[in-house]
Chain A
Amino acid sequence: MAAKCNVLLLTDAVALPLRVVLSALRDVGTEGISEDDVVVITQCKSLGKLPKESASVDVALVAWENAELVGEQWFQEIGRVLKPGGKLLLQVIPSSDTLDKPSSMVERKLLMQGFIEVQSLEMKLLLSIGNVQSITVKAKKASWTTGSSFPLKKATNKVPKIQVDDESDLIDEDSLLTDEDLKKPQLPIIGDCEVGRTRKACKNCTCGRAQSEEKLQKLELTSEQINSPQSACGNCGLGDAFRCSGCPYRGLAPFKLGEKVSLPGNFLAADI
């Protein structure tokens, strides 16, 4: 990087070997840092606020022995001093009584504070306290801020890179589909020329379907037919399962011939 890069090292330990810190920074892709660029704050537990201007830090490297420090207050402070788009690398020793996945708890707290591109990673221990488990998380401060304006993007033929939680131990399931599969599927060709099934004639029908439909129009039941139903075929009273497709009684419950037909008393009639 050509421009000077401001790095903040924040720890609750008494001391931290700078050499270790610089190599950690190189590991996460921050090159060209010299000792002069790093501001070190140790024994930070007693501090309330950071003695740095807002949005003055490019990279914050945080190493905590004490998991208690993980929380809103400190993250807010770190967020304040970081420039928009600034990077954070956090390593902390989880306390023994935390739940199963302490790294996801740390990630979540970072997200709640407004950090983006939060990712856990493996990194060797920076703090010199012997052989313990540590959690390392990297994150970024959002480059979008309240009230900022966006320059209208010209067509640049580029889209922002998306950080995907890469499950690289699984194959890409979309690769299992052929080009044929991806095309819009063909609806089944239904022989629907028969009038009276679901397809209806168009409003401006020219093929004659509309006329056929009119002929097939279900005959409205006359009061005669309701009060004293008769049936030439003998099936009308048996119910829809037995009725012919043109039956005027279609849609009604079964009834006895000669007895008055009860009109729909649907059990699901809304009580509104």
Chain B
Amino acid sequence: MDEELNSKPSRLLVLYASQTGNAMDAAERIGREAERGGCPSVQVLSIDHFGASCLPDEKVVIFVVSTTGQGDIPDSMKVFWKSLLQRNLSNQWLEGLHYAVFGLGDSGYQKYNFTAKKLDKRLSDLGAEFLIEKGLGDDQHPSGYEGALDPWLLSLWRRLNIVHPYILPRVSDIMDPSKRSLDQAKFEVLYHFADEIQSKLSTISDLKDTEKVIESALSMSPAQFYYHEKRPEYFLQMITNQRLTEEVDGRDVRHFEFKTTSSLIDYQVGDVLEILPSQNPAAVDAFIQRCNLDPSCYITVIPRESNNQSLGRHSKSLVHPIKLKSFVEYTMDVASASPRRYFFEVMSFYAEAEHEKEKLQYFASPEGRDDLYEYNQKERRSVLEVLEDFPSVQMPFEWLVQLVPPLKTRAFSISSSPSVHPNQVHITVSIVSWTTPFKRQRYGLCSSWLAGLDPCKTNGVYIPALVTQGALRPPPPSVPLILIGPGTGCAPFRAFVEERAMQNLTGSVAPILFFFGCRNQNNDFLYKNFWSSHAHDDGVLSADKGGGFFVAFSRDQPRKVYVQHKMKEESKRIWSLLSAGAAIYIAGSSTKMPADVTSTIEDIIAEESGISKDSAARWLRLLEKAGRFYIEAWS
């Protein structure tokens, strides 16, 4: 203990690995509370901005890490994690480091909070000492991860105050509501006079103009600093908007086709199309009016210089002043995403009416946390709705820029093969709608917007989009495939089948077994004719080629039939293809389906080969490492 006191820690470091922004939000809160507690220097960083080799130089580090997907490490942590897993690191490498881990996860998944659990163990194995036991936030808790974060933070501050009082001198100040003061906004908004703006854009076509405005808006947006969001590369023209499900059924699934106008679209099967949705113009106008903003003035947004920040600079070349309305339209989600707890805390400082101020302070406090969750997160309350419920609040635009959730792209698995449809890209979209606990009807922002677009409109309909690599890697034509894709999960496999059929024309290809599932043969049998055509006449799905196409209609009979049941019926064929080197791909929108199908595969392996289910599970894990087992699940 004495040796540690000799070398006082210079700072508290908070590292977060966030996938959707929750871990980042929690990390920022930890940073704020540390400051309130008198911490002389606290730094909050995304883990991909920190080199693992610098860890031994630190004295106190808090890790806030999410577990994403089916139990995976967030993308931003992959490099750091790999560095930490190196065999040659000694078990004293992190001696002298005090750490604490808080994990964000969902106990509805088998691999619950695996990132936090593995990280905590590895740090300890490398010689670091934990301040307190790891905290595990759970989405299944009535108030989400904050249910676990509140008590965990209290323990952390108390412990830190004892072990390193220099780093955290005043615990009581953190808890004292009277000590709560407003921090400084992280961003500045510069207003430009009309005569400063050269209209150099007047000679370029409308589309180019919009492109430049979007580019500028996204480059200035706070999201650019926190999330490294990629910017749209293409403006795709919608050429087809076709309903695939019958009008009878409540579900509306669409087939969309897009084509490029200028450049070529570069993609492979298995890739993902990310679309930046348009917001409802009426909602954007209502927001601007509610906040007393001038939609037509020109602005630039820049990070505020300060000691505790390391936001970096944005690429100056892409940034030029744009209309305030455009900035709101393209970067601030006003009518769909819900704001976070901190938004309510800052609102409380700007509430004129006493009862509103009280309510907002209550919502931001640990006591009001559950009620906030019920009012805000569970209801998917939008920023506009919150502001309308608290009409006396006048929040300065700087704060709105920082705290209104960023408008995010939505990702869809691509359902076309570029070799079959050059310069086109197709997607399969289920239109999202649901009823909240308060019985309000809500619709998915992107899916509803896409559904309402008319490709035949006079000037054409253009959407900003980019292509990213998905979890499914394209298979070589010689590898036999076992594909499982119920519902919209069939989308990427339409691309796989198209591509392989094309490859079949010029060389030999391995066969495909495809398992599809839907509710009713007559309602939601997506791409029925397409699968049929490839399952006959020597197609890649045909029995003659060694392939197969199997459908489970869950509701066409009293007993529920799912893809797993169809797979069990084909147990022997699946096993023989697997033994001959087949690769397995699972895709779909259900949270439970991938785990259920994986379990079925383990059963099949165990039964056909005679080994135990545990050994089968281990074998599958090896298959995954060898790049022959992929899962793409979305919610």
Contact = CB atoms under 8 A, between A and B. Distances in A.
Contacts of B477: 112, 114
A264 B576 CA distance: 57
Interface in A178-199: 181, 184-188, 190, 198
A129 interface: no
A120 B607 CA distance: 35
Contact of A162 (B107, B391, B479, B623): B623
Interface in A214-270: 218, 238-242, 250-251, 253-254, 264, 266-270
A100 interface: no
Contact of B579 (A160, A181, A238, A266): A160
A29 interface: no
A85 to B, nearest CB: 11
Contact of A173 (B118, B381, B575, B610): B118
Interface string B65-102: 00000000000000001100111100000000000000
A208 to B, nearest CB: 22
B388 A270 contact: no
A231 to B, nearest CB: 14
Given A159-B619, A240-B379, A254 B107 contact: no
A114 B439 CA distance: 56
Nearest to A198: B437
Contacts of B579: 153, 159-160
Interface stretch (A10-18, A52-60, A87-95, A138-146): A138-146
A133 interface: no
B615 to A, nearest CB: 8
A272 to B, nearest CB: 5
Interface string B360-401: 000100000000000100010110111011110000000000
B155 interface: no
B478 A114 contact: yes
Residue of A170, A181, A241 contacting most chain B CB atoms (<10 Å) = A241
B86 A251 contact: no
B586 interface: no
A267 B438 contact: no
B626 A176 contact: no
B388 A253 contact: yes
B172 interface: no
A1 interface: no
Nearest to A155: B610
Contact of A271 (B283, B441, B448, B621): B448
Interface residues of A, number: 58
Contacts of B609: 153, 155-159
B508 A150 contact: no
A177 interface: yes
B40 interface: no
Contacts of A114: 476-478, 508
A223 to B, nearest CB: 18
A254 B385 CA distance: 10
B122 A264 contact: no
Nearest to A116: B581
Contacts of B355: 238, 242
Contacts of B479: 116
16 contacts: A114-B508, A116-B478, A116-B581, A143-B580, A146-B508, A157-B610, A162-B626, A171-B85, A176-B117, A190-B141, A241-B386, A264-B441, A267-B283, A268-B335, A270-B431, A272-B451
Interface of B: 81-82, 85-88, 107-110, 112, 114, 117-118, 121-122, 125, 138, 140-142, 147, 252, 280, 282-283, 286, 335-336, 355, 359, 363, 375, 379, 381-382, 384-386, 388-391, 431, 433, 436-443, 445, 448-449, 451-452, 476-480, 508, 510, 545-546, 572, 575-576, 579-581, 605, 607-611, 615-616, 619, 621-623, 625-628
Interface of A: 111-116, 142-144, 146-147, 150, 152-153, 155-160, 162-165, 168-171, 173-174, 176-177, 181, 184-188, 190, 198, 218, 238-242, 250-251, 253-254, 264, 266-272
